[in-house]
Amino acid sequence: MKSSFPSILQLLSVLLSPCLLQSQESPRSWIKDVTRLPPGDHANLRPVKLEYTLSWNNKINAGEFEISVTRRGTTNSKFIGNAQGRSTGFARVIWPYDFRARSIIDEESLRPITFQLTEQERNEQSSYDIIFDKRKQLYSTTSKKKDENERTATSRFKFDFGQDALSSAFYLRTQPLKNGDELNMVVTPFNKPYLANFRVIGKESRKIKGKNYKTIKLAAQIGKINSDLSLNYYDKIKTTTLWIADDEYRLPLELQSEISLGFVSARLVDSEWLE
C-alpha cells in the first residue's frame, strides 16, 4: 500500500500489506467529486523542518523520517520540499528500507511541478521522476535488483488536477476545514495515481509525545486508481485518521491507521522553524 503521504505510508506498508483485501468501485464515478477549489486562507507557511517517528501501537518503533520545506526565488517563487527516512527496529529486520524525495511546488497555485523519489529496499533500488503539466502527469521509473540489469519504463496519466505527496498536504492545510468538509485529491507519490479522500470530523485536544495540541481531526481513505479508472480500496484497514494543528500553520501532527491487529501511527516528534 502506497498513498498520498509516502513518507508515512511507505513505512506503514511493511506492517499492513500482509493483511490487505481489496474492494472495487466502478470506473469514473469518482471524477466528478475531485476538489478543484483554489488555495484557501492558510496558504502561508514558514520554512520548517519536521521530524516524525513511526510506531506500532505507540510501543514498537518501526521507522523515522524528516521533511524540510524552504522557498526559492522572489518572483514566481517555489516551495522546495525534501524528505528522507528509513525503517527502524524490528521493521528494519524484516524490511530494510530507505528513501529520499524532493518536490518543487509553485507557491501561488500550490500546484506541483516535479517530484522525485528514490527507494532502497533489501535487494532493489527504484527511482521515480514525475513531471506535472496542465493536462497530465509523466512518469519515468528506473529500478535495479541485485545482480540484474537496470530496468526503465515511462508512462503517463491524463488528469488535469494531479498532486504529488507534498503538494497534496500543502493544499489540504490551506482549506477552511470546517466540520463536515470533504476534499478529494488525485495524488501520485510513485508511478501510479491514487484517490485520497479527507473528511473533517471535528476538533479535539490531543497529546502527542507529551505535548498538548489543539487539532483538526480528519478521517482519511485511500483508493488506488486502476488503468480503467476504477478504484481499489483496502478492506482490512478499519480507519485512518489524520490530526493537524489547529493554528496558523496547520502542521501535520499524527496519522494513524487501525487494522485488526492494532494500529500504526506516524507522530511529530520535533519541529524547527528555519527562518
Which of residues 209 and 218 earns the better pLDDT score? 218
158 domain residue, yes or no: yes
Nearest Cα to Cα of residue 89 among 11, 146, 19:
11
Give the whole-number percent of the chain exceeding pLDDT 70: 90
Number of domains in the chain: 1
1 domain residue, yes or no: no
236 domain residue, yes or no: yes
Which pLDDT value is given to residue 9?
Answer: 43
Conformational region of residue 216, where left means phi above 0, alpha means psi within -120 to 50, and beta covers everything else: beta
The mean of the pLDDT values for the chain is: 87
pLDDT digits (tens, 9 = 90+) for 212-222: 999 999 999 98
> What pTM was computed for the model?
0.88
Which pLDDT value is given to residue 198?
Answer: 96
250 domain residue, yes or no: yes
pLDDT digits (tens, 9 = 90+) for 26-55: 677 899 999 999 999 988 889 999 999 999
pLDDT at 19 over 80: no
Which pLDDT value is given to residue 273?
Answer: 95
101 domain residue, yes or no: yes
Nearest Cα to Cα of residue 20 among 275, 181, 257:
257
Domain interval for residue 37: 6-270
Q: Report how far residue 182's alpha carbon sits from residue 65's, in angstroms, rounded to the nearest whole number.
A: 28
Nearest Cα to Cα of residue 99 among 116, 75, 111:
116
C-alpha grid cell, residue 155:
508512462
Angle at the Cα of 270 from the Cα atoms of 103 and 196, rounded to 5 degrees: 45
DSSP conformational letter for 32: G
Which pLDDT value is given to residue 21?
Answer: 42
275 domain residue, yes or no: no
119 touches 86 (CB < 8 A) = no
125 domain residue, yes or no: yes
